[in-house]
Amino acid sequence: MLVGRAARTCALLALCLLGSWAQDFGPTRFICTSVPVDADMCAASVAAGGAEELRSNVLQLRETVLQQKETILSQKETIRELTTKLGRCESQSTLDAGPGEARSGGGRKQPGSGKNTMGDLSRTPAAETLSQLGQTLQSLKTRLENLEVRQYSRLNSSSQTNSLKDLLQSKIDDLERQVLSRVNTLEEGKGGPKNDTEERVKIESALTSLHQRISELEKGQKDNRPGDKFQLTFPLRTNYMYAKVKKSLPEMYAFTVCMWLKSSAAPGVGTPFSYAVPGQANELVLIEWGNNPMEILINDKVAKLPFVINDGKWHHICVTWTTRDGVWEAYQDGTQGGNGENLAPYHPIKPQGVLVLGQEQDTLGGGFDATQAFVGELAHFNIWDRKLTPGEVYNLATCSSKALSGNVIAWTESQIEIFGGATKWTFEACRQIN
């Protein structure tokens, strides 16, 4: 009996405060205030101090919701449309993929031995579905641009407004993960001859633009961070998500490469970076695949490294090398953990190649394999054309004011291009780690 009275009390109080507008905007959560059984519900609620505060909050929320109603309804329409497309894509993939067609896993391949999987979808009904998916993503990008204009003009500092914006952001983030997962599943279930890459490029471009726009909306403004205060995030193991350094490497007879990494991927964190030159896809590669330890490859010669980094925490790693006797050293979190020699001795690192972050190259600038992709976060990737001293490595790992930037490749946001859904976020080493 008491429960029934409380329920009726909540209903009457909600009607008094909210009116008919709540029905126009989906489910509403009501807050109940206890009043005497024979009292006037609305009058009692107005008289109560807590209820008066609730009335003020509800009126403020009402104004915000009315402003955002059109935007969210538009996004719901887009989500329904894209969900339908994804269902068709998944259904068609199941029909088209025969038994035994899924890509088999593998380790490091010899240069030129792997196909370029950046465009391995044939012109089948499934590929036509991808074309429709690309068009839908482009439409979603346009609507997000309209949303940006509206939100910048209407957003205020109220927590209710921020909650609505966060809700919309969460839905779109979930949608993006579904898109990446479905496209990756479709690719892994298809094999065959060389195919046109046009649809793949369109989808990559739409995904990249989509996430960049969403990131700006989430932060509420464009990020004015310093050029080196950022990280790259690779959330999925795909063959199309990567970053590219705009500069190439010069000829080098010694080098040091350092970076911050965070990953919990298993088995193997994948390929943090790869440098390919004409005629040699494995000119300089850092890779951990399967249950093997992390390896450094120079001219396709291999040295196993003592790194243990797939614990979901940030780690600073460095590798130094000189062509004389092929001497190398490996540092994790500022401490040397291994060394060796005879790693590609007297072979200089060749110039005019392609430097990719997050993927292993089987061809110059491509031929990516999802099984070797890096999954995790990467920051402060620097390269020097000399061997750094233990003290210089320690300064980098501890973020000392004496820490140096790479004189060959320095970590600068304007020099890094991202593709296929890889993202950039603000990051300050030693302040945000772990």
Furthest CA-CA distance within the chain: 95
What pLDDT does residue 16 have? Answer: 41
Residue 386 has pLDDT above 60, yes or no: yes
Tell me if 313 sits within 8 A of 322, measured CB to CB.
no
pLDDT at residue 290, as a whole number: 87
Mean pLDDT of the chain: 73
pLDDT, mean of residues 389-404: 93
How confident is residue 53, by pLDDT bands cut at 50, 70 and 90? low
Strand, coil or helix: 284 = strand
> Does residue 235 have a pLDDT over 60?
yes
State how far the Cα of 131 lies from the Cα of 122, in Å rounded to an integer: 12
Looking at 190-204, 268-282, 321-335, 340-354, which range is the least confident one? 190-204
- Does pLDDT of 254 surpass 90? yes
Mean pLDDT in residue range 99-125: 40
pLDDT (0 to 100) of residue 273: 98
pLDDT for the residue 326: 97
429: pLDDT strictly greater than 60: yes
Task: With a cut of 50, say whether residue 15 has pLDDT above it.
Answer: no
CA angle 395, 397, 401 (to 5 degrees): 40
pLDDT digits 0-9 by tens, 296-308: 999 999 999 999 9
Phi/psi region, residue 303 (left: phi>0; alpha: psi -120 to 50; beta: rest), is beta
* Mean pLDDT across 254-278: 96
Please compute the mean of the pLDDT values over residues 138-161 and round it to a whole number: 53
State residue 237's pLDDT score.
92
| Residue 376: how many other CB atoms lie within 10 Å | 21
Position 182 confidence tier, pLDDT thresholds 50, 70, 90: low
> Which amino acid appears at position 93 of this protein?
S
Q: Check: pTM over 0.85? Answer yes or no.
A: no
Q: Average of pLDDT values for 236-261?
A: 96
Q: Please report the pLDDT score of residue 139 as a whole number.
A: 56
Q: Is the pLDDT of residue 340 over 70?
A: yes
- Better-predicted residue by pLDDT, 385 or 113: 385
Q: What is the mean pLDDT of residues 318-343?
A: 97
Query: Which pLDDT score is estimated for 281?
Result: 97
Which of 15-29, 58-72, 183-197, 243-257 has the highest average model confidence (pLDDT)? 243-257
What mean pLDDT is predicted for residues 45-74?
59
Q: Is the pLDDT of residue 226 over 50?
A: yes
What is the per-residue pLDDT across 78-104, written as a single tens digit (0 to 9) for each? 666 666 655 555 555 444 444 433 333
Cα dist from 349 to 77, 166, 329, whole Å: 53, 47, 17
Least confident of 46-50, 140-144, 429-433: 46-50
Say whether pLDDT at 320 is over 90: yes
How is 237-293 classified by DSSP, letter by letter?
--SS-EEEESS----BSEEEEEEEEE---SS--EEEEEEEETTEEEEEEEEE-TTSP
Q: With pLDDT > 90 as the criterion, what percentage of the chain qualifies?
A: 41
- Across 10-24, 69-83, 156-170, 230-244, least confident range: 10-24
Give the mean model confidence (pLDDT) for residues 18-29: 46
Mean pLDDT of 46-69: 60
* pLDDT at residue 20 in the model: 42
Q: pLDDT higher for 63 or 300?
A: 300
Report how far residue 58's alpha carbon sits from residue 55's, in angstroms, rounded to the nearest whole number.
5
Q: Region 221-243: what's the mean pLDDT?
A: 84
Tell me if 265 sits within 8 A of 375, measured CB to CB: yes
Count helices and strands (H / E) in the chain: 7, 14
Predicted confidence (pLDDT) at residue 383 exceeds the cutoff of 80: yes
| 417 strand-pairing partners | 244
Answer yes or no: are the C-beta atoms of 383 and 351 closer than 8 Å.
no
- 200-214, 301-315, 386-400: segment of lowest average pLDDT: 200-214
Does the pLDDT at position 178 exceed 50?
A: yes
Query: What per-residue confidence (pLDDT) applies to 402?
Result: 85
